[in-house]
Chains A and B, each alone.
Chain A
Amino acid sequence: MSATGIGAAVRRKEDHRFITGQGRYTDDISRPGQAYAYFLRSPHAHATLNRIDAKAAAKMPGVLGIYTGEDLAADKIGGLICGWMIHNKDGSPMRAGPHPALAQGKVRYVGDHVAVVVAETLAQARDAAEAISVDYGVLPAVVDTASAATSKTQVHAESADNTVYNWHLGDKAATEKAFKAAKHVTKLDLVNNRLVPNPMEPRAAVGDYDQGEGAFTLYTTSQNPHVARLVLSAFIGIAPENKLRVVAPDVGGGFGSKIFIYAEETVCVWAAKKVGRPVKWTSDRTEAFLSDAHGRDHVTHAELATDADGKIIGMRVKTTANLGAYLSTFSSSVPTYLYAPLLSGQYDIPAIYCEVDAVYTNTAPVDAYRGAGRPEATFVVERLVEIAARELGKDPAKFRMQNYIKKFPHQTPVIMMYDTGNYAASMKKALEIIDYKGFAKRKRDSARNGKLRGIGFSSYIEACGIAPSAAVGSLGAGVGLWESAEVRVNPVGTVEVLTGSHSHGQGHETTFAQLVSDRLGIPIENVSIVHGDTDKVQMGMGTYGSRSGAVGMSAIAKAVDKVIAKGKKVAAYVLEADEADIDFKDGNFRVKGTDKTLDFGSCALQAYIAHKFNGQDLEPGLKEGAFYDPTNFTFPAGVHICEVEIDPDTGITKIERWAAVDDFGIVINPMIVEGQVHGGIAQGVGQALLEGARYNQDGQLVTASFMDYCMPRADDLPSFDVGMTVTPCPSNPLGIKGCGEAGAIASPPAVINAITDALGHEEVTMPATPQVVWRAAQKSIKRMAAE
């Protein structure tokens, strides 16, 4: 392994720019003559828009234009779309209500877009927005996930019972049979709490229109600028693709929330032509809380059947998923195909049946958030398994190992074909790291100090490397999920790699360069990664679902191999040898068995000067492209163990130890991977202990600032002990599985299992705040005293 090759902990190339304030984010981009947009948002969760009077506002200083849903409709600008069709149990399509970028006739959540004001300054736009008079006909709001379907209030006319779809997966009859045969059934009701993504950089957009060319440019905070262009062009109708450029420059975190195509960016790019000026909008934190797509929000009943030997023989799950007021871009897929196919976890379960009802409510749209469906599935599986072990009087680690899948490939009863893994190896390593044997003593020591200590396990699996296009197409996806790459070799041998992946914190500029430098045998400084601009990169599907390593880098590897293949042809002419006799190694083309070599840079120069093969069957230049479409999902898996100590007097939970053993397949940069694990655990601990979006009965978001919505801070977290096991992924050329979401998927059940262990199996909800834990601890203490 070289100092910068695959497997090396290379320091991130992009960090110098970020930590010295030289990053260039959307809000850093200002176009000549730029004006500012301010969105007038609904203060009501549910209301008819009887009248919008903007006459006085339009005359206010600096105002360039005020627009409503009617103006968009008049310009034939379509609504926002949901790109994944889910079918009901009876085969009928899901019920999708309209999703206009600016409300038409009705507002459906607090923060919904009523009108936009474009003015010379932001303050002027805001002043004018305050002068717009809106006559709202306030309606009752539907807020609660579990009862939305029985509410008398209807969010969309298209769905009488607020239900988007009733969907199911698995073999119902086989599952019922397994439960009939079961020796023991474990039952569990749980809530997967709603989260606000809160990337550090809020969303922003700058729309620009070139009158001479008749072409639009949109700078936006996107994880997938090409998908944004496709949707804005083909579905919303802003402009044909060749007249619409979308640029996603440096993006400061997304966690899924920047995958989606939102109202604000749509309106900014459209309004740029309307007012004849570039238009900028930057979300403030309050707007981010109100209008970024939220995550999770499931209510679930789950059951696990075991036989007399403690072997799991069946699972059934019934989930209600809140999708909010409108169907966001990929929302429909999250509680269905990104959720139920993961319910087998790491276990050999012969029969699984899952039903999911998705509902509309008068809350912000809900869509993919770090892990997207997989954390929800893992929470169900790992809580069920833990409780089953307790009920059966079995050690939770042993019970898991007894039920692990041990032979691969393994076909689960819920779509997935697991290709490879070694779950027991991860468990054994994690038990060692956490010192499981010493736990009993540590628990006694804690008890002596009046504290309650508990240990919690989580054996997670996720499906990453999203995704084989044919597979997702058959499940309702409106797009293919391949990735593209282009490798442009400059005449002196430096390389630009154009990728359809997008980096918004993942460190692609480093890891992708490591791969290319390793394969081409050139210094890492000679490799630049280009992404995030539809004018530079032809097409791409973007970054989410831990796909950029497994899919994006596989495309790059393919393109690099084509460059090498062409380089061999060039070298054959230059070295006057047969192409079949040319080898490429460590940056040199060599005639086998001789000392005749041509280094990579010289080969590139020869390819461009083309003196040696003019008139032959070889084109000048050295530039190759590739598309890579995976043949299977990848299946990162691992074991996280969390150890907590609870102060029963205050309810404070302190995470004392954390062992994370992950199998991500081949790792390109262990430092970056470890960082991803740390960040993921922090987000998962946030969900388990701290975070929870709450709406009151009127549909007001009561956790709309950091004063009430608790994000994890450094002092909420322990020092993590991270280990790895490696089973290379057989379905892609690099053996990569993906690591971006594992921590967020694994950690919530580990934390809650540890807390309930400490509390003598007293259940707690997420977030397990001190108040929640204190109350449960009091119950537990009373119960134990009674026993």
Chain B
Amino acid sequence: MYAFTYHRPATARQAAGLLAKKEDAKLLAGGHTLLPTMKQRLASPTHLVDLGGCADLKGIERKGRNVVIGAMTTHAEVAESAVVQEAIPALASLAAHIGDPHVRHRGTIGGSVANNDPAADYPAALMALGATIVTSKRKLTAAEFFTGLYETALEEGEIVVRISFPLVSKAGYAKFRNPASRYALVGVFVAKRGSEISVAVTGAGEGGVFRWPEAETALKARFAAKSLDGIKHTAKGINADMHADADYRAHLIGVMAREAVARATGK
């Protein structure tokens, strides 16, 4: 790790101020990706702005037909939240299965979303649930926000403040873990709101999280795992690495989608 200056602002506004003022500043929102990278000297920010002291970035509340989660809420807090468990149990369950206990107690939803790791779990949930990302400057839909591998629509100095999840009637998430890292090799989140179905896939896409329209159409006819029988995702545009080539990953998308629907329908 190279030397850097550490800042711990008390509000999101102060944090945004520091980010704008200090050259080469990075936000610390849990640090489970950034700190290892810094230790390996692969990242070397001059200023580190720790959002851990910003009380206004924390917390979970139900606001009408939405669950709103502050950016600095940890995965463990989401997993254990009675509000989330009651309103969107699939989201609580997803959070409960991110990484290991250490990661869940340090890592945050805002950090994960802003990093947009192609193998992270949350992007699939945001995409399938139609979440809105509220930043220090504006509101973005998940589809607008996630723009590519480790890429988001966030501009210079812009901070994720909270994420708003509209309620759904049914939702489920299933992931196939990379045996080594235990990140999602393939993760599929399915959600049903009235006749609207969305199926979002993480871990598999060359460009990060994406929707699977064929599966959505099939599930519109009948929201059951069986509806996906015989529907295969193409291997085109699918990631390949030593753990899984594109064919295997494409196959797993189907398997995980069926599992996610089975969970959503309680079967």
A contacts, CB < 8 Å to B = 123, 126, 130, 286, 649-651, 690, 694, 702-703, 706-711, 769-771, 774-775
Contacts and interface: CB of A to CB of B under 8 A. Distances in A.
B252 interface: yes
B179 A707 contact: no
B180 A707 contact: yes
Contact of A706 (B3, B180, B251, B252): B180
A708 B248 contact: no
Nearest to B180: A710
B212 interface: no
Given A649-B255, A710-B179, 18 more contacts: A123-B1, A651-B248, A694-B242, A702-B242, A706-B181, A707-B181, A708-B180, A708-B243, A709-B180, A710-B180, A769-B179, A769-B243, A770-B176, A771-B243, A771-B244, A771-B248, A774-B248, A775-B248
Interface string B85-116: 00000000000000000000000000000000
A615 to B, nearest CB: 70
Given A771-B243, A771-B244, A690 B179 contact: yes
Interface in B26-73: 40-41
Contacts of B243: 708, 769, 771
B245 interface: yes
A709, A710, A770 — most chain B CB neighbours (10 Å): A770
25 contacts: A123-B1, A123-B3, A126-B41, A130-B41, A649-B255, A650-B176, A650-B255, A690-B179, A690-B180, A694-B242, A703-B242, A706-B181, A707-B180, A707-B181, A708-B180, A708-B242, A708-B243, A709-B180, A710-B179, A769-B179, A769-B243, A771-B244, A771-B245, A771-B248, A774-B248
Interface in B144-202: 176, 179-181
Instruction: Give the top 5 A-B pairs by smallest Cβ distance, nearest first.
Output: A710-B180, A707-B181, A710-B179, A771-B248, A649-B255
Interface string B234-267: 0000000011110010011001000000000000
Contacts of A694: 242
A64 to B, nearest CB: 20
Contacts of B251: 774
Contacts of B41: 126, 130
Contacts of B180: 690, 706-711
A546 to B, nearest CB: 29
Main secondary structure of the interface of A (DSSP, over half): loop
Contacts of B242: 694, 702-703, 708
Contacts of B179: 690, 710, 769-770
A777 to B, nearest CB: 11
Nearest to B186: A650
B54 to A, nearest CB: 30
A239 B243 CA distance: 48
Contact of B40 (A286, A702, A774): A286
Pick the most buried of B3, B180, B252, B255: most chain A CB atoms within 10 A of its CB. B180
Nearest to B256: A650
Contacts of A774: 248, 251
A124 B180 CA distance: 33
Contacts of B1: 123
Contacts of B255: 649-650
A177 B243 CA distance: 45
B150 to A, nearest CB: 15
Nearest to A778: B251
A702 B243 CA distance: 11
Nearest to A651: B248
Interface string B132-147: 0000000000000000
A104 B146 CA distance: 50
B111 to A, nearest CB: 18
Nearest to B3: A123
A486 to B, nearest CB: 45
Contacts of B40: 286
A651 B177 CA distance: 12
A116 B96 CA distance: 45
Interface in B1-28: 1, 3
Nearest to A716: B179
Nearest to B176: A650
A710 B182 CA distance: 9
Nearest to A769: B179
Contacts of B3: 123
B162 to A, nearest CB: 30
Nearest to B183: A707
A27 B65 CA distance: 55
Contacts of B252: 650
B181 A708 contact: yes
A286 B3 CA distance: 21
Contacts of A126: 41
Nearest to A709: B180
A566 B207 CA distance: 79
A706 B1 CA distance: 20
Nearest to A711: B180
A593 B74 CA distance: 77
Nearest to A774: B248
A708 B41 CA distance: 19
A610 B242 CA distance: 73
Indicate the member of B1, B242, B244 with the most A CB atoms within 10 Å.
B242
A651 B244 CA distance: 11
A651 B41 CA distance: 37
Nearest to B249: A771
A773 to B, nearest CB: 11
A770 B176 CA distance: 10
A126 B2 CA distance: 10
A168 B3 CA distance: 57
B252 to A, nearest CB: 7
B233 to A, nearest CB: 14
Nearest to A696: B242
A530 B40 CA distance: 39
A285 B252 CA distance: 32
Nearest to A650: B255
Contacts of B245: 771
A706 B100 CA distance: 14
Contacts of A651: 248
A710 B242 CA distance: 12
A650 B179 CA distance: 12
